[in-house]
Amino acid sequence: MDARAVFALLVSGRLGLALSFPWLPDALKYDHMLSSPLTARLRLQEGIFLYQHDIDPYSGSAFRHSPLYLSLFTTLLPIISSPTACILLWTAADALAAYSLVRIWRARAGGASERDGLVAAAYLLNPYLFLPSLGLSTSTFENLSILLALMFACEGSSSPALLAFALATHLTPPLSSLLLLLPLLGVLLSGPASSLEDPCTFTSPALRMTRLGAEYLTYVLVLGAAAAIVVGDDTYTLKWGWVGQTWGTSLTLPDLTPNIGLWWYFFTEMFDHFRPFFLGVFSIHLVIYIMPISIKFQHDPLYASFLLIGILATFKAYLTLADPGLFLSMGILFPEVWTYLRHPLPTFLLHLHAALLLPLLHALWTSHGTGNANFFYAATLVMGVANGAGVVDWCWAGMRIAIGGRGGVAGGRKIRVKGGDGEGVLEEEKDEEVKTTHSEWELEEGWEERWEVVQE
């Protein structure tokens, strides 16, 4: 079937399913797995109500969305109170995000292919993405802005890419979005083509990198000024109180509403005098992954972006199902790595286990009263293990593909040599399925084992 027909069928199916159950947004708006204090539609409605009645929505602690949402839903699209109109908007955002993913795939593959429909299905049929969209969580727009930035970067359009990423910085906590800045600049400078099988050192003029960084910073400041004008008392007044209530939430964690992340329960049990130290530890823990992954996968910055999205999907402060959903859907972009994954089935089963445990233990705690917070947090730990296992597996596969691996496209041979000059080959064994251990080789004194990869 033609990719366009598949895409239209998927979008129509999604929209038809959502419109068939118009009561679902209200039923899901309290679900802690689908929305967080930063993405919940209920809190967005409250902030819009306060804003329309000339009350500063950031004067309390309930509203933590970007002021750009206030501008969008009070002037351009005043539809937040209409479930049907919201369903149409959220479905359109998902469709655009899926189309962006297809465009990223085409840029990486070098053109349209038979896999385009599969790429769209990987996004539109992902329950981790579909359910938050049904619950009208604003995480849908966060994922859209990230995918738009990557799409424009893959196509070489630097200004739209940086503008979309600046928008993502405003819609999500900056600590989260800034993880992707370095690989995004790498995609702009080196392109999206797959280089995992043939890694090489990344070289680019420092001047161009600086110019792109300055352009991104300019967009962030312009959008920040626009946000300050939105919440100002009049057109010429800038108000910056929203910064601490939005950008500062990932650093100070003021709202301990339960979610599927790893932070909330830990800091609920934390003594106050230890809190600043561990907030710093948790925040720095996110940041330390940027340089190692960006350097290790400098030859394929799109893959580095994918891995850092997986890190966010594991350790983000206010996590929802949409975060691991984006990571899992982006895995469709890297088919050359699939054969190198070492434990995809256990990772899938962990996700399935977590997907069953989370709603069950959440209901036992909040609805039936037969459980407590420990029950739900245990399920979130299973989700954390599932996300972490996926990130580790994809990271391993991305490194392994360069030298050939189990079931991969590269063969190899094991040789024993004496000394280090490669002379005196004793034995040679061709291995179509490259083994990763050679414990069965017993070497005599003065001989050493050497592994050589032979590209077929």
pLDDT for position 229: 87
Mind giving me the DSSP string for 191-255?
Answer: -S---TTS-------HHHHHHHHHHHHHHHHHHHHHHHHHTSSSTT----THHHHHTTHHHH---
d(CA 179, CA 162): 14
d(CA 196, CA 198): 6
pLDDT for position 124: 93
pLDDT for position 84: 86
d(CA 228, CA 232): 6
Please tell me the pTM assigned to this model.
0.85
pLDDT at 447 over 70: no
Phi then psi for residue 379, to 5 deg, are -70, -35
Radius of gyration of the chain (CA): 24
pLDDT tens digits, 147-193: 999 999 999 899 999 999 999 999 988 777 788 999 999 999 888 88
pLDDT for position 235: 54
**Which residues, 6+ apart, have CB-to-CB distance to 178 below 8 Å?**
169
d(CA 406, CA 340): 6
d(CA 29, CA 131): 11
pLDDT for position 233: 65
For all residues of the chain together, what is the average pLDDT? Answer: 83
**Quick check: 408 and 336 in contact, CB under 8 A?**
no
Greater confidence, 421 or 167? 167
**Quick check: 401 and 300 in contact, CB under 8 A?**
no
The arithmetic mean of pLDDT across residues 30-46, rounded, is: 90
pLDDT tens digits, 118-133: 999 999 999 999 999 9
**Which residues, 6+ apart, have CB-to-CB distance to 125 below 8 Å?**
10
Phi then psi for residue 398, to 5 deg, are -65, -30
d(CA 352, CA 199): 34
* Buried-exposed string 111-134: b where 16+ CB fall within 10 A, e elsewhere: eeeebbbebbbbbbebebbbbbbb
β-bridge mates for residue 293, sequence order: none
pLDDT tens digits, 215-256: 999 999 999 988 888 887 665 566 777 888 888 888 888 888
d(CA 452, CA 429): 11
pLDDT for position 237: 60
The arithmetic mean of pLDDT across residues 406-417, rounded, is: 42
Q: Percent of the chain having pLDDT more than 70?
A: 86
pLDDT tens digits, 321-372: 999 999 999 999 999 899 899 999 999 999 999 999 999 998 898 888 787 8
pLDDT at 4 over 90: no
Q: Percent of the chain having pLDDT more than 90?
A: 45
